[in-house]
Each structure stands twice: as C-alpha cells, then as structure tokens.
Amino acid sequence: MFGLTAIAIAGPSMEPTLKSGEWWVVRRTTNVRPGQMIVFWHPLRTDLLTVKRVHHRRPAGWWVLGDNPEASEDSRFFGAVDPAAVVGRLVLRYRPAVALART
C-alpha cells in the first residue's frame, strides 16, 4: 500500500544505528542519495535483501557502507550496487503489535 513495506533487521552490520530485531518501514523507491539507509538485493547473494548506508555514487552504481565496518559486508567487498537492485529506503522504525496469548 502506498509503496511502503516492512522489514526486520537481522545482523550487526548497521549497529549502533540499527539493531537486530528492529522493524522498519521501507519506502519503495530507486531515488536515493548519500547518507540514506537503503534496502537492496545483495550483488553476490541475489536472494538476500541487505540494508546499508549510501556513501556516494560511482559510474557503476551506489557505493554503500555498513555503520559497523568490522561486521559489514559492503561495497568494500562486493563493489558498487546497481541502481536496479535498489528496493527502497528506510523511513521509520516501529514496533509491531504483539498478540498476547492466554495461559
């Protein structure tokens, strides 16, 4: 609806900004700019959605880096991200409602 979707963060590559288990709303767009956190299809593991911060634009695509360089597989490893692989950008963190079970 309205070009929005939700994702759960998994892994430490964007810590301390993003923590594993957090939920984020993603605005579906390919219009991104440096400084934004984006969701894209991993260039080498094409079944994996990945979140990184856009650093700058190169002729081959977007150079992306994790906020936690020691734990991040990013453009230093796989090169620039093809703009066609970009799904969207993170816009809002939220906590999903949790159903309470009766015991």
On whether residue 72 sits in a domain, the answer given is yes
Number of domains comprising the chain: 1
Per-residue pLDDT at 66: 97
In a domain, 101, yes or no: no
Q: Is residue 99, in this structure, part of any structural domain at all?
A: no
Q: Give the model confidence (pLDDT) of 19-53 as tens digits.
A: 999 999 999 999 999 999 999 999 999 899 999 99
Amino acid of residue 7: I
Range of the domain at 38: 4-94
Q: What CATH code is carried by the domain that includes residue 62?
A: 2.10.109.10
23 inside domain: yes
Confidence of residue 102 (pLDDT cuts 50, 70, 90): low
Residue 60 in domain: yes
| Token digits of residue 40 | 């894209």
On whether residue 102 sits in a domain, the answer given is: no
Q: Report whether pLDDT(57) > 60.
A: yes
Residues 54, 32: contact at Cβ < 8 Å?
yes
Q: Which whole-number Å values give the CA distances from 13 to 27, 29, 53, 68, 98, in the listed order?
A: 21, 22, 10, 5, 26
In a domain, 28, yes or no: yes
